[in-house]
């Protein structure tokens, strides 16, 4: 009987793997990348051009924030599918002299004309994802440039214009198309529908630009040069703003963005969301990102178990990790959204007594049902259901400068190539699809429903870790949509519980549970892990690509730093 059940489960796992939907930023290869050590400063980004730009700025005496700005602008040029000035992001900045961490919120905002029916059809049913995401309807007010400017005002040491020079040069003179960019252009079903994108990314015969072909983007170079000279106001007002609005409003699926929406955008500085894990202090982004809070919730649930005494990579540790994810995501989906709309606070969701109550529901010997109910941090609160189809097209960079200042920056345009809507050489985001498509829940309105000026929930989780003496210990983050939370939490367990080297922590097979089936990375050791979790604990699993893009820096015992880039993408480590 047991053998027959195992056989049926194996067949189910195989079918589930075959049917798993492709990730927009799909897997394009796996290459082992050894960690690198640094004595002065270190930068880990998603592309060698960006890493080089960051190092050049650091060598000139620039701060970690300066280097991050230069790098993320270059990523707009060479990794346009993932992030850019048409999108937003979150930035954690650690000021070593003040021993202070600040969280910079550059998340997009809904136009003031948006309402909760933004993604509903006339009959009240939700639109399909790509019917909502492609075109102007899903474009939120971009926040990246305002966020970078605000961080530079406080932490920058080099002139603002200097930080744009590498990106302007690459956009103007061109760069060689990477294998990953070529594969994603070739894969995309919607990008060529936009005339500007078609002219930029495809040959005259309609074929995608080949690996090694030179991609020049003079329109983007001109925009970046203008913002370098005149500041972010050149983007949020005037000619560029008018062209953005015209493109959104005249699209076949028009959006509600106005020039007033752009002109009114301001980035916010928030207190980071911090909590204890073992002997360390872990800090992440507060809402509107659910990333920082859900990572801390997972760690809080796992703190009940003696993970340091367990074997890394075992079916038992993967079981505990998946169950922690399942329960933490139940709360994420129910309670997180725009901070002004949340009915419970992060203090309540992360209270030790509440997390202990939730952890007690984890059975060390058996998997829960595929989906568990959210908890109730406060009695009498109605629970609303409102899942959003957050997509995994994002970038992350980690930097530490010679003075010990650090940046963890995660930026995104949401889906691969965003809304597939291009203006002046940059792609506009489709971040509004991170709102819940069905705004009314089981017993009330969801905090992540669309509304005028609201920020959609995110899972981006730039993270800083401090040791028991308050010293900066680690800088990390990842792209990956809602999987980001699991990617970051799993890496923290590897680094803090098992004292793994950063490249070893990144090489572990990814395990993710978002309060549904347990998802396990499709590779030989991943399949074996799925089989063991099914046989020992009853997990129903989906074996699939889990294309993380983790970039990690950890303090080295002799006093320097060691960094690693995820082997699943094309990131690099730069050191001095």
| Max CA distance (Å), the chain | 73
294 is annotated as an active-site residue? no
What is the rounded CA–CA span in Å between residue 422 and residue 227?
Answer: 18
Considering the candidates 28, 294, 394, 410, report the single residue annotated as catalytic.
394
What contacts 338, CB < 8 A, 6 or more positions away?
287, 288, 447, 448, 451, 454, 455, 456, 457
Instruction: Give dist(CA 328, CA 317) in Å, integer.
Output: 16
SS3 268: strand
- Measured CA to CA, the distance from residue 338 to residue 432 in angstroms comes to 12
* Residues 277/85, Cβ–Cβ less than 8 Å: no
State how far the Cα of 283 lies from the Cα of 296, in Å rounded to an integer: 8
Q: Say which residues have a Cβ less than 8 Å from residue 460's Cβ, sequence separation at least 6.
A: 89, 90, 285, 289, 291, 394, 410, 412, 477, 484
Tell me the C-alpha distance between 503 and 490, whole Å: 13
Q: Give just the sign of the alpha carbon dihedral 206, 210, 214, 220.
A: positive
Radius of gyration of the chain (CA): 22
> Active-site residues: which are they?
394
């Amino acid at each position: 009987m047991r053998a027959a059940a195992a056989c049926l489960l194996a067949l189910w796992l195989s079918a589930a793997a075959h049917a798993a939907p492709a990730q927009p930023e799909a897997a394009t290869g796996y290459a082992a990348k050894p960690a690198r050590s640094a004595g002065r400063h270190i930068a880990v980004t998603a592309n060698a051009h960006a890493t080089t730009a960051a190092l050049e700025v650091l060598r000139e005496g620039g701060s970690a924030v300066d280097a991050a700005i230069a790098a993320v602008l270059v990523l707009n040029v060479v990794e346009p599918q993932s992030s850019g000035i048409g999108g937003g992001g979150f930035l954690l900045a650690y000021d070593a002299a003040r021993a202070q961490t600040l969280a910079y919120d550059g998340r997009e905002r809904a136009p003031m004309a948006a309402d909760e029916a933004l993604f509903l059809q006339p009959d009240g049913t939700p639109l399909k994802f790509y019917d909502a995401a492609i075109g102007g309807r899903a474009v939120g007010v971009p926040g990246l440039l305002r966020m970078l400017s605000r961080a530079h005002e406080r932490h920058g040491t080099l002139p603002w214009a200097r930080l744009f020079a590498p990106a302007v040069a690459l956009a103007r003179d061109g760069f060689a198309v990477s294998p990953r960019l070529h594969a994603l252009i070739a894969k995309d079903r919607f990008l060529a529908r936009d005339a500007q994108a078609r002219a930029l990314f495809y040959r005259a015969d309609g074929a995608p630009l080949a690996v090694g072909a030179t991609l020049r983007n003079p329109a983007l170079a001109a925009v970046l040069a203008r913002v370098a000279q005149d500041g972010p106001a050149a983007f949020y007002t005037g000619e560029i703003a008018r062209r953005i609005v015209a493109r959104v409003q005249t699209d076949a699926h028009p959006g509600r963005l106005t020039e007033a929406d752009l002109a009114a955008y301001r980035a916010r500085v928030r207190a980071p969301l911090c909590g204890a894990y073992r002997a360390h202090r872990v800090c992440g982004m507060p809402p509107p990102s659910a990333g920082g809070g859900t990572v801390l919730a997972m760690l809080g649930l796992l703190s009940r178990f003696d993970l340091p005494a367990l074997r890394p990579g075992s079916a038992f540790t993967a079981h505990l990790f998946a169950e922690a994810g399942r329960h933490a995501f139940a709360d994420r989906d129910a309670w997180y959204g725009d901070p002004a709309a949340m009915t419970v606070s992060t203090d309540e969701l992360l209270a030790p007594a509440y997390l202990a109550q939730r952890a007690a529901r984890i059975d060390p010997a058996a998997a829960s049902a595929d989906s568990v109910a959210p908890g109730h941090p406060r009695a009498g609160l109605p629970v609303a259901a409102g899942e959003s189809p957050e997509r995994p097209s994002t970038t992350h960079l980690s930097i530490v400068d010679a003075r010990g200042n650090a940046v963890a920056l995660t930026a995104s345009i949401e889906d691969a190539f965003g809304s597939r809507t291009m203006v002046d050489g940059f792609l506009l985001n489709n971040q509004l699809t991170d709102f819940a498509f069905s705004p009314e829940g089981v017993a009330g309105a969801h905090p992540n429903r669309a509304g005028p000026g609201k920020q959609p929930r995110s899972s981006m989780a730039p993270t800083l870790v401090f040791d028991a003496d308050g010293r900066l210990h680690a800088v990390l983050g990842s792209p990956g949509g809602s999987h980001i939370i699991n990617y970051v939490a799993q890496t923290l367990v590897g680094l803090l519980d098992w004292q793994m080297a950063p490249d070893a922590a990144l090489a572990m097979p990814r395990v993710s549970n978002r309060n549904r089936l347990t998802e396990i990375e499709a590779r030989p050791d991943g399949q074996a892990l799925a089989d063991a979790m099914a046989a020992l604990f009853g997990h129903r699993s989906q074996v699939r690509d889990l294309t993380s893009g983790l970039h990690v820096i950890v303090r080295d015992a002799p006093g320097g730093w060691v960094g690693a880039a995820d082997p699943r993408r094309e990131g690099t480590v730069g050191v001095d």
